[in-house]
């Protein structure tokens, strides 16, 4: 039986931690949620969630959003004006997987920077701020992602975050963190959410990934910026009414699901160790820090897309991410026993593909 209480599982889903299902206890919390009209600040469950997040991240204000994309984009809208520019690592979710929203919603351009496994350091950033001159967009916001997604599931060391945000502030930049999986980073590195949030003007946190909620994200920051972000949420069509139903899921997750992230990380490394033993597959075990596992498929086994298709036929789902590259993501609905079964299938498919 899965953590969600379901027994009719036909496959092992390692495509993303967004495929988690709400547990029976989470569903009960949603059913029992006290609700009101959040548009006028009268939903007590949303208010409780926002207050919890303010305390957890050490920020004075928070706004509950529909998704991580919405909270990221509300942060940009609140801190930029049309014609500005943001700095972000080349694989950042905000730049690649949010449908061009920075340009569409805020009229800002993006300067992509090649970092190290999705992470930026001062050496990558030197010379990247535009001159304050009429020919150029004005560089306004420095965006980081922790943990990195397509960059490799890596968690920033705290001193690196400090160094990079200090660099940004010294140049008059606002600093935003896409912390969709910030609790994974905290679990892996041993720092607290407040340790990270104090370095940033705004932090976006997603509840629908490792924490297993059906939807929802939070944006935390100072009162003025969050007031602007709340207006952005309205403009973007994200204002909800009795949203305590989904806020209750987030509260339940914050109270009950964070501790399991360490098990997700152990399962990811367990999978990586098995992959490391399979001829034709290449992985760097030292790079597996959290719940995201990337590995390369040798061309003798076919393309990554073909390999993913053969895995799917054998009951294991994961994504092919570019030529020869596969991504597997562990989560609360995947047990250690399921990881072992998935590893057996990976080994079998690789052997049969030679």
Q: Which fold has domain 24-256?
A: 3.40.640
- Per-domain boundaries in the chain: 24-256, 259-353
Exposure pattern of 332-348 as b/e (b: 16+ CB <10 Å)? bbbbeebbebbbebbbe
What would the CATH number be for the domain defined by 259-353?
A: 3.90.1150.10
Distance of CA 2 to the CA centre of its chain: 23
Element (H, E) at 48: helix 44-57
What pLDDT sits at residue 239?
Answer: 87
What pLDDT sits at residue 353?
Answer: 86
CA-based R_g, the chain, Å: 21
Tens of pLDDT along 142-157?
999 999 999 999 999 9
Tens of pLDDT along 287-306?
999 999 999 999 999 999 99
Residue among 240, 228, 250, 245 nearest 38 (CA): 240
Spatial distance between the Cα atoms of 146 and 165, rounded to a whole number of angstroms: 13
What pLDDT sits at residue 7?
Answer: 40
Tens of pLDDT along 23-63?
999 999 999 999 999 999 999 999 999 999 999 999 999 99
Q: Are 92 and 178 in contact (CB under 8 A)?
A: yes
């Amino acid at each position: 039986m899965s953590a969600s209480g379901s027994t009719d599982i036909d496959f092992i889903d390692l495509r993303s931690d967004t495929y988690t299902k709400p547990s029976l206890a989470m569903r009960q919390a949603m059913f029992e949620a006290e609700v009101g009209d959040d548009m006028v600040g009268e939903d007590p469950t949303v208010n409780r969630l926002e207050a919890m997040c303010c305390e957890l991240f050490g920020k004075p204000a928070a706004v509950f959003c529909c998704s991580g994309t919405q909270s990221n984009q509300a942060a940009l809208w609140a801190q930029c004006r049309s014609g500005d520019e943001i700095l972000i690592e080349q694989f950042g979710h905000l730049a690649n997987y949010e449908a061009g929203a920075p340009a569409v919603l805020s009229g800002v351009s993006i300067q992509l920077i090649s970092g190290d496994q999705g992470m930026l350091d001062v050496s990558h950033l030197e010379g990247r701020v535009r001159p304050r001159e009429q020919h150029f967009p004005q560089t306004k916001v420095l965006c980081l992602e922790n943990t990195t997604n397509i960059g490799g599931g890596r968690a920033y060391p705290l001193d690196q975050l400090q160094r990079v945000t200090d660099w940004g502030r010294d140049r008059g930049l606002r600093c935003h963190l896409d912390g969709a999986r910030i609790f994974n980073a905290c679990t892996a590195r041993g720092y607290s959410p407040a340790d990270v949030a104090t370095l940033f003007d705004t932090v976006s946190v997603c509840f629908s990934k490792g924490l297993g909620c059906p939807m929802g994200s939070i944006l935390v920051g100072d009162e003025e910026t969050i007031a602007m972000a709340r207006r952005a949420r309205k403009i973007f069509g994200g204002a909800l009414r009795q949203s305590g139903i989904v806020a209750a899921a987030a509260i339940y997750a914050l109270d009950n699901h964070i501790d399991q992230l360490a098990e997700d990380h152990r399962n990811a490394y367990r999978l990586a160790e098995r992959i490391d033993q399979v001829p034709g597959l290449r992985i760097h075990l030292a790079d597996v820090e959290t719940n995201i596992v990337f590995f390369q498929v040798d061309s003798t086994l076919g393309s990554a897309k073909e390999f993913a298709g053969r895995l799917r036929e054998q009951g294991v789902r994961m994504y092919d991410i570019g030529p020869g590259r596969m991504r597997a993501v562990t989560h609360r609905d995947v047990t250690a026993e399921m990881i072992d079964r998935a590893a057996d299938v990976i080994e079998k498919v690789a052997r049969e593909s030679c």
